[in-house]
Structure 1
Amino acid sequence: MVEKHIRKIRSDGEQSRERLLQAAMRLFAAQGFSNTSTREIALAAGANVAAISYYFGDKAGLYRATLTDFMPPPEVNIAHFDNPEFTLREALHGYYTQMLAPMMEGELTEQRLRMWLREVLEPTGIWQNEIENGIRPEFEAFAQVLARHLNAQVDDEVYRLVHAVAALGAHLMISQDIVAAVTPQLISTPDALARWIPRLVDYAEAIVIAEQKKRKKGAA
């Protein structure tokens, strides 16, 4: 009975924390950090204001959690594409699979994107931390992968290549409103989004092969 009681408390606590995260995400995405109060979040979540302090410390902690709790650690994303046994296509497929994964979550994707855009415009330091501890490690790992397939050392041309390959997927994420306005059928369902992955692999593979040919010509 005691064990069941503890499990129930833990389950209820997880649900309460999740409700706070969901409510906070909606409000932060719509209003920003400064214009959203903890009382407003608690009311929307059907929770007590004290629950925010209990689970997140303060409003800043809750805000940080809405941006970072759902993001896999860099090593998880890197494992999708950094395997010495992968062919170039397999590495590119893994890269775009992990990149577009957040877009498969429907409304949550739009809310998180709005929050990240607000964070860029109204920085609290979280975005800079994400660049250093999340984006940079993945960027460097992908540069090593592409250099390996080019049989080259990482140099500025490899870095340019990484930016170019990443931009193909990043456009879908950052410009969802434009894509949805001009070609809504291309991102309207999870299946439609999934069909982007092999095509992005095709485009990226062509870019990498072009770089391979350029390097071989230069060496000759």
Structure 2
Amino acid sequence: MNAKSSSLPVHDDSRKPRSDGEQSRIRLLQAATRLFGNHGYSRTSTREIARAAGANVAAISYYFGDKAGLYQACFATMCEPAPDNIAQFDQPHYTLRQSLDGYYRQLLAPLLAGEDAQQLVRLFYREMLEPTGLWEREIHNNIKPEHLALVGVLSRHLGLAQPDDRVHRLAYALVGMAIQMLVGRDIIHTITPHLLATPQAVAEWLQYLGGYAEALVQAEKNKLQQG
């Protein structure tokens, strides 16, 4: 599918919101995330966002600069910088299980925090279908470095000096198990809703994920040792 891409300008979101307006800023982010995810960037107006948030349109200019700045802020709230995420699982003294548990914790942080992950996923899908440049930037700035760091961790525990295609495939498989919890939430809620009902339920699932992942890595290690 070919979608027309128009890069958004980069805005400085370093301005500090006034303490008495923090709730207004949060409501704008929540409303914008929902509306951008449902309708896309081009078909969502600032007036519509302000109305849904119960705020004045001028508040968007004050906190975010313009619609492009607000759109980028929506992504910034759910995308931690790659170095911060990588530090949670790529440590030389970590066991394999500690690294895997740390990887899944940072990947599924929105679920653990009890946030509406479905809205976040929908926004990501909208960006992939109607790219503005943010999704490509997210891949290069965050997703790719995290993937390469995970591949490095796996290579270290598999005893490989350099990663090969097998390690990359293994890394994608490990990530896929966690992505199901995000993109397949409707299926899970229909069949076994209690498995994602609370942050505690998500945390318990993460423990199982760590065990499944560890078993897959061990299976790959056994194959390498055998041949």
Q: Identify the match of residue 113 of structure 1 among 121, 125, 148.
A: 121
**Cα offset, 1:45, TM superposition:** 2.2
Q: Distance in 2 between matches of 1:183 and 1:212?
A: 33
Q: Which runs of 5+ in 1 are unaligned?
A: 1-8
How big is the alpha-carbon RMSD for the aligned residues of Structure 1 and Structure 2? 1.6
What corresponds to 2:187 in structure 1?
178
Normalising by structure 2, we get a TM-score of 0.87
Q: Distance in 1 between matches of 2:195 and 2:25?
A: 34
Tell me if the contact between 2:118 and 2:182 (Cα under 8 Å) persists in the aligned partners.
no
2:155 is aligned with what amino acid? Answer: A
What corresponds to 1:147 in structure 2?
155
Normalising by structure 1, we get a TM-score of 0.89
What corresponds to 1:28 in structure 2?
36
**Cα offset, 1:62, TM superposition:** 0.8
1:215 is aligned with what amino acid? Answer: L
Tell me if the contact between 2:37 and 2:125 (Cα under 8 Å) persists in the aligned partners.
no
Q: Distance in 2 between matches of 1:22 and 1:84?
A: 38
Q: Distance in 1 between matches of 2:120 and 2:78?
A: 10
Q: Distance in 1 between matches of 2:114 and 2:129?
A: 24
How many pairs align?
Answer: 210
1:189 is aligned with what amino acid? Answer: T
What corresponds to 2:10 in structure 1?
none
Q: Identify the match of residue 200 of structure 1 among 200, 209, 215.
A: 209
Q: Identify the match of residue 105 of structure 2 among 97, 101, 104.
A: 97
What corresponds to 2:12 in structure 1?
none
Q: Distance in 2 between matches of 1:73 and 1:116?
A: 16
What corresponds to 2:218 in structure 1?
209
More helix by share: 1
Asked which structure has the greater CA Rg, the reply is 1
For structure 1, which segment, 149-158 or 106-115, has the greater mean C-alpha deviation from structure 2 after superposition?
106-115
2:181 is aligned with what amino acid? Answer: L
1:154 is aligned with what amino acid? Answer: P
**Cα offset, 1:171, TM superposition:** 1.2
What corresponds to 2:5 in structure 1?
none
What corresponds to 2:80 in structure 1?
72
Tell me if the contact between 2:34 and 2:123 (Cα under 8 Å) persists in the aligned partners.
no
Q: Distance in 2 between matches of 1:143 and 1:25?
A: 32
Q: Classify the secondary structure of the residue corresponding to 1:69.
A: helix
Point out which structure has higher relative CO (alpha carbons under 8 A, 6+ apart): 2
What corresponds to 1:85 in structure 2?
93
Q: Classify the secondary structure of the residue corresponding to 1:195.
A: helix
Structure 2 residue 174 is matched with structure 1 residue 160: no
2:226 is aligned with what amino acid? Answer: K
For structure 1, which segment, 106-115 or 182-191, has the greater mean C-alpha deviation from structure 2 after superposition?
106-115
Tell me if the contact between 2:189 and 2:196 (Cα under 8 Å) persists in the aligned partners.
yes
**Cα offset, 1:128, TM superposition:** 0.9
Q: Classify the secondary structure of the residue corresponding to 1:124.
A: coil
Q: Distance in 1 between matches of 2:24 and 2:194?
A: 36
Q: Distance in 2 between matches of 1:70 and 1:93?
A: 19
